[in-house]
Structure 1
Amino acid sequence: MATRNLLFSLFCFFLLCLFSGEQQVVEATRGSPFAFKPKKLFVFGDSYADTGNNRKALASSWKFPYGITFPGKPAGRFSDGRVLTDFVAEYFGIKTPIPYRWRKELSGRLKYGVNFAYGGTGVFQTLSPEPNMTVQIDFLEQLLNESVYTKRGLKSAVALVSLAGNDYNTYLFNNGTAACLSNQYASCGQGLPAFIASVVGQLTVNLKRIHDLGVRKVAVTSLQPLGCLPRSTAQFSFQQCNGEENNGVNLHNQLLAQAVNTLNKQTNSTSFFVVDVYNAFWTVINRKNQAHQVSPSFENPLKPCCVGVSAAFSCGSVDEKGVKQYTLCTNPKSTFFWDTFHPTQQGWAAVYSTEALQNSLKQLY
């Protein structure tokens, strides 16, 4: 009798929900049994994500003082310590995936994914001789063909795709920086806006290809405010950003957001999402005078910790006698930027803690 009454009560509750016009939705939040729980992380892109792929003979990331905070010596990261990949892996509860170049030596850790990112690269061929993003994706496809991974196994994977501006550095190098950063686009071949569209177009092809290989969720970073990197703010004594440069960044990010929306519509999914690095950087850079801060602020966020003594040198440079040709701040934790392009570990921690980045990562679930 009690069972019959219970069933009748449940039936009445169902009818009430059905006809009340209110949907009862079980939200798949992080940690719930309905949430997507990634088991692997595959990383593609450049120095903001690279954890040791670049050849030692080519990259400053293998020179002292890189890595002095973590792991205590140069290890291929373009920072004094951890980079974006490490923080994203931590968020997803995954161990930092090994660099592709160490896949044979550390084969036991392939179950966590692979980092295919190479510092200095882009979607097209840049000034770096290292593999661009198309070739990096070829590497994943090769691992699938070798049965290191299966397409079914990739359904539990997330891809992080980083594009930090090397394509644009190469374009400006080839076409004349001053003209291309102003409105004089005629002197830049097709023009900077057209080139930005081509970069986002190729990036879109790459995102779709990663998804087609079987990766369930594909996260791509928005472009950080390039005009706020120390290489650009140096001309203003590290006191202000280059607004013209950031105008191009805004166009890139607008086109990228449109491309991601289109990909989700084409695949009838929510597989693709943007990691809002732009607003995360902007929040930290402008945090100096904000009260009640959750994460640290930096007294002069535009000034790097490690910088060459002149334009001919960079962080880690030494002369023929081994004398260092750079200056180093006393405490990397006090600065947002490590060198003229890359954040410190503390800088990445500050970016990671922003509402912009946290809300971006929540799109996974």
Structure 2
Amino acid sequence: MAETPSAFFSAVVVTILAVLGGCSAPSEAARAFFVFGDSLVDNGNNNYLATTARADAPPYGIDSPSHRPSGRFSNGRNIPDIISEQLGAETTLPYLSPELRGEKLLVGANFASAGIGILNDTGIQFRLYELGARRVIVTGTGPLGCVPAELALRSRNGQCDSELQRAAGLFNPQLVQILTALNRKIGSDVFVSANAFGMHMNYVANPQAFGFATSKIACCGQGPYNGIGLCTAASNLCPDRDTYAFWDAFHPTERACRIVVNHMMTGSSEYMNPMNLSTILSMDAAV
């Protein structure tokens, strides 16, 4: 079952919560990476759950190294995979995977699950500091009104839905304020806000500048903008995923995810506040 627009809205409010470091001083040996969120960052947990929100059938994973579906709602890698790649680390395994044992646990784990809502894990996220997390990246909402699913349901001329865009515009600044206040209370820049709206909106508003042919039509799907339902073997499928910003009705392609991670790694304070991931890694390496 595809996520409904309202479920998608609540699910992406905190898309990814990445935790770097442990209870001791951060170091290359001690760093671990934990992921919390929804289908945008799920790397296969729903394969082990009794749910219809699954990405375990072709053509999901068509551009992955194995060219097979893995449970990622993507044509290939997703944002956590690419962050791990940038860290020079192995990709974290789903927490439900039977392979997550022994030394694999030292890399971290992915707790994301497609279809999850923010109310299920609010509070747990901010208690992570007490459990030893020392670097936490929290993303705001992306351009909710611009995904193909919303264009299919709400748009008559291909323009993003203004109501959902306004909702994101109200939420995101308040998230930054909350995280800033938490850092002041702790006395350290533990929580980092990632401006997912700006990161995604760059290529959504000007796809050609990023080498995309379109940011409105999903590569895989059906109906207007290929925005009805999720991707199946019976869906329309574009031949070149690199020219599409969206893979299916809700999720970006691997290439779009790489643009987002580039912002996370080296973006200015407009995108990563108070610092980007490269700065975090340099600071931690100096400790």
TM-score normalized by the length of structure 2: 0.76
Given the alignment, which residue of 118, 127, 151 partners 1:123?
A: 118
- Flag the structure with larger Rg: 1
Aligned residues of 1:222 and 1:274 also touching (Cα < 8 A): yes
Higher relative contact order (CA 8 A, sep 6+): 2
Q: 1:55 to 1:238 in 2, by over 3 A?
A: farther
Aligned residues of 2:216 and 2:246 also touching (Cα < 8 A): yes
Task: Quote the offset at 1:90 in angstroms.
Answer: 2.2
When the two chains are superposed, the root-mean-square deviation of aligned CA atoms in Å is 2.6
Answering whether residue 238 of structure 2 is matched by residue 329 of structure 1, we say: yes
SS in 1 for 2:128: helix
Match of 1:299 in 2: 213
Given the alignment, which residue of 255, 268, 271 partners 1:346?
A: 255
- Distance in 1 between the 2:76 and 2:227 partners? 25
Aligned residues of 2:149 and 2:227 also touching (Cα < 8 A): no
Answering whether residue 241 of structure 2 is matched by residue 249 of structure 1, we say: no
Answering whether residue 48 of structure 2 is matched by residue 62 of structure 1, we say: no
Read off the aligned partner of 1:300 and give its amino acid letter: T
- Distance in 1 between the 2:31 and 2:257 partners? 23
Answering whether residue 34 of structure 2 is matched by residue 39 of structure 1, we say: no
- Distance in 2 between the 1:313 and 1:106 partners? 39
Given the alignment, which residue of 199, 204, 228 partners 1:280?
A: 199
Aligned residues of 2:246 and 2:253 also touching (Cα < 8 A): yes
Answering whether residue 153 of structure 2 is matched by residue 265 of structure 1, we say: no
Task: Quote the offset at 1:300 in angstroms.
Answer: 1.3
Task: Quote the offset at 1:92 in angstroms.
Answer: 2.6
- Distance in 2 between the 1:237 and 1:298 partners? 22
Which shows bigger deviation, 336-345 or 269-278? Answer: 269-278
Q: Paired residues, what number?
A: 244
Q: 1:102 to 1:331 in 2, by over 3 A?
A: same
Aligned residues of 2:227 and 2:248 also touching (Cα < 8 A): no
Match of 1:52 in 2: 44
Q: Deviations over 1:309-354 (max 9, x none)?
A: 589963344xxxxxx4421111111101001100011111122234
Aligned residues of 2:221 and 2:227 also touching (Cα < 8 A): no
Match of 2:150 in 1: 232
Q: 1:312 to 1:287 in 2, by over 3 A?
A: closer
TM-score normalized by the length of structure 1: 0.61
Read off the aligned partner of 1:60 and give its amino acid letter: R
Aligned residues of 1:40 and 1:94 also touching (Cα < 8 A): no
Match of 1:169 in 2: none
SS in 1 for 2:45: coil
Match of 1:361 in 2: 277
Higher share in helix: 1
Aligned residues of 2:45 and 2:94 also touching (Cα < 8 A): yes
Taking only the aligned residue pairs, the percentage that are identical comes to 30
Answering whether residue 96 of structure 2 is matched by residue 101 of structure 1, we say: yes
Read off the aligned partner of 1:58 and give its amino acid letter: T
Aligned residues of 1:306 and 1:328 also touching (Cα < 8 A): yes
Task: Quote the offset at 1:274 in angstroms.
Answer: 0.8
Aligned residues of 1:79 and 1:343 also touching (Cα < 8 A): yes
- Distance in 2 between the 1:287 and 1:223 partners? 19
Aligned residues of 1:227 and 1:244 also touching (Cα < 8 A): yes
SS in 2 for 1:333: helix
Aligned residues of 1:238 and 1:303 also touching (Cα < 8 A): no
Aligned residues of 2:151 and 2:161 also touching (Cα < 8 A): yes
Match of 1:86 in 2: 81
Task: Quote the offset at 1:238 in angstroms.
Answer: 7.3
